[in-house]
């Protein structure tokens, strides 16, 4: 069963809400001047990530475009320079390899002492179940959740030190999730490769990873809100992008008529990351377009948040 069909059968209201959202009342024209801001966008070379980088550059931010492929990143940077007159900075980042994540963080920290906005935007969806990360984790959970957790963990000291001197509410972590998170719980036995994980449907493994993004966001709030860090999770909507590359052709054909362009998909996370009023949305879950949505109640469970955080810490403690 394809991703879109899963949405319909499991949670029709959520599917309708994400497919036919009301017209956007907020636009990238409302982004304030970001001169002096340092930002990172993971998966910034394509789709929603590229549109996010574009809007940040247009408003004078210094932007690190984090991606696996230097060739694809260089092409995106060249395109963005033509569009904006500004140049993003390539940061080599492979979220499916923990050692590569550490190298990426070290590279960034060798160049910068400040970080204002971290957009954990990159992701994979509906991958063949036999694909795993370099470290043996489910490719979707390992990339979407563990990879971003480790990258964020390594950057947290810089984010927190930036929050000490930056204007209140401007230092933020934005985690890209999905309405797919409504369709899942967290089964810790499937995070790493093994017999139980291999019996799972790839779409459900994706849904699980997107719930993990929201749970991680809410735990960040519990741990760091009092230190001036804003953390928000965002669902971009049903967007036309390469995220669908592993989905069945029937699914993408059905979804084609309701998909929105990547520029619209970037709206909600850009609002979460830059709008002054979004400083009051710490720990919230936003949907299209820049609207506050109610996440799955399980995502706000402090016990689950602590359990996931502990598991994530265990995976990277010896790196």
Catalytic site positions: 177, 206, 210
For residues 87 and 89, give the distance between their C-alpha atoms in angstroms, rounded to a whole number: 7
Tokens of 16: 């309708």
- φ/ψ region of 254 (left if φ > 0, alpha if ψ in -120 to 50, else beta) reads alpha
99 with 319: CB under 8 angstroms? yes
- φ/ψ region of 229 (left if φ > 0, alpha if ψ in -120 to 50, else beta) reads beta
For residues 280 and 80, give the distance between their C-alpha atoms in angstroms, rounded to a whole number: 31
Residues paired with residue 234 on neighbouring β-strands, in sequence order:
176, 286
Q: Is 130 exposed, middle or buried (0-12, 13-18, 19+ CB in 10 A)?
A: exposed
Look at residues 222, 243, 198 and name the one whose alpha carbon lies nearest to residue 299: 222
Look at residues 319, 123, 286, 84 and name the one whose alpha carbon lies nearest to residue 210: 123
Q: Is 131 exposed, middle or buried (0-12, 13-18, 19+ CB in 10 A)?
A: middle
């Amino acid at each position: 069963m394809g991703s879109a069909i899963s949405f319909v059968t499991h949670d029709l209201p959520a599917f309708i809400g994400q497919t036919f959202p009301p017209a956007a009342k907020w636009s990238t024209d409302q982004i304030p001047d970001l001169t002096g801001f340092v930002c990172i966008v993971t998966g910034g070379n394509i789709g929603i990530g590229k549109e996010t980088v574009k809007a940040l550059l247009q408003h004078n931010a210094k932007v690190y475009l984090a991606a696996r492929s230097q060739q694809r990143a260089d092409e995106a940077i060249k395109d963005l320079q033509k569009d904006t007159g500004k140049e993003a900075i390539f940061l080599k980042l492979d979220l499916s390899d923990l050692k590569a994540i550490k190298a990426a963080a070290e590279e960034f920290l060798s160049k910068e002492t400040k970080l204002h906005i971290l957009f954990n935007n990159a992701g994979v969806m509906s991958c063949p179940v036999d694909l795993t990360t370099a470290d043996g984790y489910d490719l979707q959970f390992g990339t979407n959740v563990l990879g971003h957790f480790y990258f964020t963990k390594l950057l947290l000291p810089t984010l927190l030190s930036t929050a000490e001197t930056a204007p209140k509410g401007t230092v933020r972590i934005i985690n890209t999730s999905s309405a797919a998170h409504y369709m899942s719980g967290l089964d810790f036995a499937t995070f790493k490769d093994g017999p139980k994980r291999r019996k799972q449907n790839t779409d459900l493994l994706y849904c699980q990873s997107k719930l993990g993004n929201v749970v991680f966001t809410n735990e960040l709030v519990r741990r760091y809100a009092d230190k001036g860090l804003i953390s928000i999770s965002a669902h971009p909507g049903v967007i036309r992008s390469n995220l669908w590359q592993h989905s069945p052709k029937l699914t993408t054909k059905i979804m084609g008529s309701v998909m929105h362009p990547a520029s619209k998909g970037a709206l909600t996370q850009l609002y979460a990351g830059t709008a002054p009023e979004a400083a009051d949305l710490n720990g919230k879950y936003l949907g299209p377009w820049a609207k506050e949505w109610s996440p799955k109640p399980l995502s706000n469970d402090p016990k689950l948040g602590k359990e996931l955080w502990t598991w994530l810490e265990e995976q990277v403690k010896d790196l």
